[in-house]
Amino acid sequence: MRARVQTQPFDPAAELEGFGAGAGAIVTFTGVVRDDTGSMAALELEHYPGMTERAMEGHGDTAARRFDLIDWRIVHRHGRLRVGEPIMMVATAARHRQAAFQAADFLMDWLKSRAPFWKREIGQDGSARWVAAKDSDEAALDRWQAMPR
């Protein structure tokens, strides 16, 4: 499977072993749990088992066709994560760097607002707050519709 959902931590470097053989350009992006308030104990991610895997595989294939990728990977965690831990990564392999960069960006914009994950911030005082979706993430996704293929 090129798309994977899991609770366990992952090692971004280990994920790239043997990845993208024959490519001229490999781009990877790793998202990390950050604490903007200084009061966060953990981040919890809920997802929709079944739909998540299907949707990520489907969108990865779309990216592969659109950007002529040689290979791609998506790893996304769910469950309880600590500040500083990797949440997710995408990797894209193409002949040239522009396609690899663009495909990674395209996958990230989609993951932000179309992959069925929901984040909740757990405070050091035990409070829990669902993270609201951002309009800017929606706008970032829209620009791919307008862009010539």
Partner 1 sequence: MTVDVLYFAWLRERVGIPRERVETQAATVRDLVTELAARDDWHAAAFADMTAVRCAVDQELVGLDAPLGKAREVAFFPPMTGG
CB atoms near residue 98 (< 10 Å): 12
Nearer to partner 1, 95 or 141 (CB): 141
Stretch of residues binding partner 1 (CB under 8 A), selected from 9-17, 48-56, 60-68, 97-105: 48-56
**Strand-by-strand arrangement of the 40-47 sheet:** 79-81, 40-47, 117-123, 128-130
Give Cα 7 to chain centroid, integer Å: 14
| Exposed / middle / buried, residue 139 (Cβ in 10 Å: 0-12, 13-18, 19+) | exposed
Is residue 59 involved in binding partner 1 (CB under 8 A)?
no
Could you tell me the two tokens for 32?
């990390």
Among 26, 113, 122, 144, binds partner 1 (CB under 8 A): 113
The nearest distance, CB 45 to partner 1, in angstroms, is 8
Which pair of structure tokens corresponds to residue 78?
């769910």
117 binds partner 1 (CB under 8 A): yes
How big is the site for partner 1, counted in residues (CB under 8 A)? 27
Does the footprint of partner 1 cover residue 111 (CB under 8 A)? Answer: yes
In whole angstroms, the minimum distance from the beta carbon of 50 to partner 1 comes to 6
**Shortest distance in whole angstroms from residue 77 CB to partner 1:** 10
